[in-house]
Amino acid sequence: MRLREKVCLITGGAAGIGRATAAKFAGEGARVVIGDLGEAAGQEAVASPGEAAAFFRVNVVDRPAVQAWVDAVVDEYGRIDVLVNNAGITRDAQLVKFKDGELVGQMEEEAFDAVVNVNLKGVFNCTQAVAPVMIRQGSGVILNASSVVGLDGNFGQTNYVATKAAVVGMTKVWARELGRYGIRVNAVAPGFIATEMTNAMPEKVLDNMRSHTPLRRMGRPEDVANAYAFLASDEASFISGAVLRVDGGIVIGT
């Protein structure tokens, strides 16, 4: 019960890593509040024993909506102890794609902007809304979802890699800015994790992911949730500004 009675916000908490994190935190005694666009999945998580205590439909890109969510949580629980910035999307494409000397495709501006808005601006919006609450109470933990591709790069993911690399940078800045108020800020960088999104990929792609992972398996959402739980707990009380890889020792090739 490392998170007993702590109020924990998790964005993108209705599915995948977010839902596994919600269940893990609840099992550690936390009061978990999910923010997600997936209404049905979010309500299901709230209804499931041992998972979330509350669900709010919120778009992390919408700053006023995020503020309204944070204000509602504070009105209900009186505090916010942990924020997990987990929400994220992908819109993969090569920067430019050539065939027989001709340009045949490229990453669309809309795809670039969509990923930046959710994965980067969303993290900014939620952290900026929550930080004053934590400053006033003199404590808090902020955990950001990066990725191994944000550290190493990856083919066909200019937009996604840019956001996950930027999240690492913001994590280090906020650790410096907010540490004086008793707030710790860290990031987790998962490798290839078996979620609803990856399960829809062709088996050939999944085999390639496994072959590049020394442990020869995909990670489980629970593997990442366990890392978040440790970093959220007092066991990590002197860890801030860190990036924890949860990747099975992955080596990303070209």
Active site residues: 160
Task: Give dist(CA 162, CA 170) in Å, integer.
Answer: 12
218: phi > 0 → left, psi -120 to 50 → alpha, else beta; which?
A: beta
Both tokens assigned to 2: 């490392």
Q: Are 217 and 248 in contact (CB under 8 A)?
A: yes
Strands laid side by side in the 243-246 sheet: 54-57, 31-36, 7-11, 82-85, 140-145, 183-190, 243-246
Q: Which amino acid is at 136?
A: R
Strands (E), 128-182: 140-145
Q: Are 15 and 41 in contact (CB under 8 A)?
A: yes
Show Cβ contacts of residue 21 under 8 Å, excluding neighbours closer than 6 positions: 10, 13, 84, 86, 221, 224, 225, 228, 229
Q: Which amino acid is at 17?
A: I
Helix (H, G, I), strand (E, B) or coil at 51: coil
Residue owning tokens 């504070």: 74
Task: Give dist(CA 76, CA 192) in Å, integer.
Answer: 37
